[in-house]
């Protein structure tokens, strides 16, 4: 058997490039104190020797791990995947690794906040779509690294999120402008103790109704678990048994909206002729099902969160409480239409779009 090959060292790279080992170290750590000519020579020598810098060794010198961590409730959701797909490119371009901590249940959540495994293993932590307690927020404040909140607003901390209030406001206005006055709002109940922006989107819905002079009706605000046809059927059973059932339903997630459309059509309630349905997200399935929705871009959210994390790691003097707020916009498709007139109503009540 041939003898085991010795791994090249920094001294080997220095000898081949004709420089000192300290120059090799500065070059491969990306420091600006090395001339372009020397940098090219060192990088060429490192490539020829297949030499790679040990991140552990580099962290002893720089105090940096070269890793950005992200905390997510699940990896099997469209939103999480889109955030990560937007986050990865800026980190890759900056030579940083991505470490993901998935918290699938409350036991894992308790363990994470007890042990804080990101400490000393990352240069920054992104927290995506968590409804944190004050104690958990304080624990993250004590990590000694930038903590960036994604898809949520946290006072005094760097945050990247969409304006959920404005999104729900504009979505509800879309339905009001179609003549709807009995508009239900379906909140999403998180299965694992996590938030899906329910409260702030409810505020936008209520604000739009109030500005249009439509009285708020608590019977029209209901909750459903995401992704289940049975849960959607139960919600519809509640809404359609009201003395005055809604003519439009605004679901705060596309998955719930699609399940509502499926159940309505299954029970021979025409969409949108009898009931309009509006979602929130603009997931791919919204396009496939021709669902009207309020669009947001989690991939843009991930990209901007990654850029903000790099900015705070590389320039600690950056604004620690900076907020990046992304817009939303309504995309009308085939599941929303003007409210149906009752037979014999004539022209009473004005034009369908009045008051929106």
CATH 1.20.1070.10 fits 164-297, yes or no: no
Which pLDDT score, from 0 to 100, does residue 337 have?
98
The predicted structure's pLDDT at residue 336: 98
Given this model, what pLDDT does residue 354 score?
Answer: 38
**pLDDT given at position 42:** 87
Name the CATH architecture for the domain at 67-162+298-326.
3-Layer(aba) Sandwich (3.40)
Same fold across 67-162+298-326 and 164-297: yes
What is each CA distance from 162 to 95, 153, 200, in whole angstroms? 28, 9, 11
The pLDDT, as a whole number, for residue 10 is: 80
Q: pLDDT 10s digit of each residue in the chain, 356 long?
A: 344 456 678 888 889 999 988 888 777 766 667 888 988 898 888 888 776 655 444 444 455 788 999 999 888 889 999 999 999 999 999 889 999 999 988 899 899 999 999 888 899 999 998 888 899 999 999 998 999 999 988 889 999 999 999 999 999 999 999 999 999 999 987 655 455 467 889 999 999 999 999 999 999 999 987 667 898 999 999 999 999 999 999 999 999 999 999 999 999 999 999 999 999 999 999 999 999 999 999 999 999 999 999 999 987 666 778 899 999 999 999 999 999 875 334 444 444 433 33
Other Cβ atoms less than 10 A from the Cβ of 164: the count is: 26
**Would you call the peptide bond into 307 cis, given omega within 30 degrees of 0 as the criterion?**
no
Buried b (16+ CB within 10 A) or exposed e, 295-320: bbbbbbbbbbbbbbbbbbbeeeeeee
Question: Residue ranges per domain, the chain?
Answer: 10-53, 67-162+298-326, 164-297
* CATH homologous superfamily of 10-53: lambda repressor-like DNA-binding domains (1.10.260.40)
């Amino acid at each position: 058997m041939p003898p085991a090959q010795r791994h090249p060292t920094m001294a080997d790279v220095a000898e081949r490039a004709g420089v000192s080992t300290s120059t090799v170290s500065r070059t491969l750590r990306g420091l600006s104190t090395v001339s372009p000519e020397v940098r090219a020579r060192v990088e060429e020598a490192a490539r020829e020797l297949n030499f790679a810098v040990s991140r552990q060794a580099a962290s002893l010198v720089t105090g940096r791990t070269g890793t950005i961590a992200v905390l997510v409730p699940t990896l099997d959701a469209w939103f999480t995947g889109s955030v990560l797909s937007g986050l990865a490119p800026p980190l890759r371009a900056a030579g940083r690794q991505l470490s993901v901590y998935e918290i699938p249940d409350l036991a894992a959540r308790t363990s994470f906040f007890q042990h804080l495994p990101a400490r000393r293993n990352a240069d920054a932590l992104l927290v995506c779509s968590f409804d944190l307690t004050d104690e958990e927020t304080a624990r993250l404040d004590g990590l000694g690294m930038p903590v960036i909140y994604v898809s949520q607003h946290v006072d005094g901390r760097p945050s990247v999120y969409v304006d959920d209030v404005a999104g729900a406001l504009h979505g509800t206005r879309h339905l009001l402008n179609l003549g709807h006055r009995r508009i239900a709002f379906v909140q999403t109940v998180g299965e694992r103790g996590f938030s899906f922006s329910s409260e702030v989107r409810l505020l936008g819905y209520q604000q739009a109704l109030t500005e249009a002079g439509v009285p708020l009706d608590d019977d029209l605000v209901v909750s459903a678990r995401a992704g289940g046809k049975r849960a959607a059927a139960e919600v519809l059973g509640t809404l359609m048994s009201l003395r005055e059932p809604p003519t439009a339903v605004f679901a705060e997630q596309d998955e719930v909206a699609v399940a509502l459309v499926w159940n309505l059509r299954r029970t021979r309630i025409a969409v949108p002729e009898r009931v309009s349905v509006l979602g929130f997200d603009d997931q791919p399935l919204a396009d496939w099902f021709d669902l009207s929705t309020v669009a947001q871009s989690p991939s843009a959210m991930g990209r901007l969160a990654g850029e903000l994390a790099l900015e705070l790691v590389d320039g600690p003097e950056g604004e620690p409480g900076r907020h990046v707020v992304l817009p939303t916009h309504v995309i009308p498709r085939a599941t929303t239409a003007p409210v149906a007139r009752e037979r014999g109503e004539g022209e009473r009540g004005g034009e369908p779009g009045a008051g929106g």
